[in-house]
Structure 1
């Protein structure tokens, strides 16, 4: 069994996927203005700032994870992004993604935590640089730090409309 190959495949599945999401927020059909309008509708204030921060964080964390650089910290960013998505865009829609639920974002967050636990593998920039940002401690950092960062962002910036507060 080649664990290094499995870790590389997982990194190359998650990293570019998040980069694509980030670049879509900037260059997709609605562009950054459309992302800003979407974030406004979700209740993220100020939406212009969160649209930019989300895009930058997705692109940055996705690239870091794909290259296996600062793996534990990149995984923490993945968890934070997915928890915010779970609480804003997917809240009140149940578990299943085909109903708009949080199934997918939970899977992405947990896969990132698994990478923080297992490390980026032999074919990574972390390995080349001799960085040890993986293992059980880093899995806790990724999960706990990501949840804490998301909670802080939500506490300071999530202001859904009154109607959403009643129905969401």
Structure 2
């Protein structure tokens, strides 16, 4: 039998940490460190349209906020998986370890799995949706 209270707290912890990671990658990395123009140039160097960099930034920033506050976590987590698949593609040729030159693929893969788990669990505890009368509890098996 699953302890539902602990499961809700665990889902919250995963949702919160994933949301903070998305915010860090969008705000700190893409906006503050590389700048949006620099990020767009990097995307272009990969053969991707520059506009995709701005869409990626927006998806990560808005998705990160939604996850942190617990708004539509299942949907947001699923919607962000394509962004992570793009990151996986970028780093796939660099080897396993993310500390390798240009980063490895294990971190994006881990985040894909974590996003999938949040999509399965839902908001967990302390979600803004619970203030609107929606269940913040994970789905029971």
1:72-93 per-residue CA deviation (whole Å, 9 max, x = no partner) reads 1110122111101111x20212
Alignment partners' CA distance in 1, 2:85 and 2:139 = 22
TM-score relative to the length of structure 2 = 0.82
Alignment partners' CA distance in 1, 2:133 and 2:73: 12
CA distance in 1, matches of 2:139, 2:119: 6
Matched with 1:98 is 99
TM-score norm. by structure 1 comes to 0.70
CA contact (8 A) 2:72 2:123 kept: no
Match of 1:10 in 2: 14
What is the number of residues matched between the two proteins? 132
Deviation at 1:125, TM superposition (A): 1.7
C-alpha distance in structure 1 between counterparts of 2:125 and 2:24, whole Å: 25
Native 8 Å contact 1:126 1:132 kept in 2: yes
After superposition, the C-alpha distances for 1:104-157 in whole angstroms (9 at most, x for unaligned) are 011111111111111111310222224469759xxxxxxxxxxxxxxxxxxxxx
Q: 2: distance between equivalents of 1:95 and 1:131? A: 40
Summarize the alignment of residues 141-156 of structure 1 with structure 2, pairs less than 5 Å apart. Answer: none
Where does 1:4-153 land on structure 2 (aligned, <5 Å)? 4-23=8-27, 24-28=29-33, 30-45=34-49, 47=50, 49-87=51-89, 89-99=90-100, 100-131=103-134, 135=139
| DSSP-derived class of the 1:69 partner | coil
Determine the C-alpha separation between the residues in 2 that align with 1:126 and 1:67. Answer: 9
**Structure 1 gap segments, 5+ residues each:** 137-168
Q: Which structure 2 residue ranges, 5 or more long, are not aligned?
A: none
Contact 2:74 2:121 in 1 (8 A): no
- Which secondary structure does the structure 1 equivalent of 2:75 belong to? helix
Q: CA RMSD in A?
A: 2.1
